[in-house]
Amino acid sequence: TGNDQDSTEITGTVQEQMDELLLQCFLHALKFKVKKADLPLLASTFLKVHVYPCCPEGQQLDIKKSSYKKLSKFLQMMQQRQIVQVKELSKGVESITAVSWKHADLRSFRVPEAATGEDPVKMDTTCQPLEIKSFYSVPSKLIPLFEHASLKKSATLSNADVRSIITTYVKSNELIDDYNKNYVVINPILCDCLLEKSEHHTITKVTWDDLFTRCLKRLQECHQVTFPGQNPVVRKGGIKPINIDVAQRSSNKKVTIVSNLEAFGLDPRSLGNALQQKAQASVTMHQVPGTKDKVALQVQGNQVNHIAKLLTEEYRIPAKYIAGLDKAPKTGKKKR
């Protein structure tokens, strides 16, 4: 039992140290990194672009090891202390909308000598990438096929879950074809759930692959995005990628347009600033037509390579979630 007491004391101090480090990096970022023009600032961007780089060398900031566990919980506490105001500007995604620059904690904050926080490369080692998972939910038409699995109404299923449930259904109803194990015999429920009306009288069996494909096609797609330090957000439909487009403007000049950054918790303004420095080109922001809160970035010239590098290396967005990477300028030799 003596050992148990020691271990709780140790974890207590680790947690306290992490709380202190988080507060230090938070105040450092607000006082020296964030400008009024940056607001409103997505919480996930604030963490990646401003807070993590303020972590002193040799230390690693890990919110999960703090008593708050999540960035949203820490920001609520900072809101209660009236240092910042936090709002959910789009569903499930928090932003810092105001900062009390004259707050006593900010005015009295001094950067510890060890923590200059000027090295932006350090962000890559501590920055946690966002997590994206694809799921399926069961529409009412397919309930007869799934009810044996006793799912809750709001249940979300992975591809493997769907295959497992369908396989169990087929086996328990003895629908594997006697003559060829690669085929599944269509019973009335499979017929209603997975066949087109025109196929009702013509198809009596299908391959396992065809069965799974038909099933996945008829399920409702949804996806879950988890921003670092925040609760997961579940949205209907498949996730739409960040879109990069190259357009021709008057006098034959090209511009690169980047949209749908918000779906990945990216702040267009911060990305625009980073892009301006990397590409040495002017960047403008404009509202996406027909939307209230979506912004597109427009950069002078074909900057697909710079944008791709920034998104995949610094923001850790997998390339499969970026559309338009093929529009980068061709690097082949020029014809003489």
- 232-258 residue pLDDT tens: 778 888 888 999 999 988 777 899 999
pLDDT digits (tens, 9 = 90+) for 93-151: 889 999 998 998 888 888 876 544 444 333 333 356 678 888 999 999 999 999 999 88
Supply 37's token pair.
């023009």
List alpha helices for the chain, DSSP H.
Answer: 2-32, 43-45, 71-80, 104-108, 122-126, 143-146, 159-172, 188-194, 208-218, 268-279, 304-309
Q: What percent of the chain has a predicted confidence (pLDDT) above 70? A: 89
Asked if the model's pLDDT at residue 177 lies above 80, the reply is: yes
Cα distance between residue 184 and residue 147, in whole Å: 19
pLDDT at 334 over 60: no
Q: Are 248 and 300 in contact (CB under 8 A)?
A: no
pLDDT per residue as tens digits for the range 195-221: 999 999 999 999 999 999 999 999 999
> 23-32, 40-49, 55-64, 285-294 — which is least confidently predicted?
285-294
- For residue 275, is pLDDT > 60? yes
Choice among 178-182, 230-234, 303-307, 331-335 with the minimum mean pLDDT: 331-335
Which residue has better confidence, 119 or 300?
A: 300
3-class SS of residue 95: strand
Does pLDDT of 179 surpass 60?
yes
Distance (Å, whole) CA 186 – CA 164: 18
What angle, 0 to 180 degrees and rounded to 10, lies between the N-to-C axes of helices 208-218 and 159-172?
120
Tokens 């003489």 label which residue? 336
On average, the pLDDT of the chain sits at 84
pLDDT at site 231: 74
The pLDDT value recorded for residue 120 is 39
Out of 101-110, 160-169, 288-297, least confident range: 288-297
**11-26 residue pLDDT tens:** 457 888 899 899 999 9
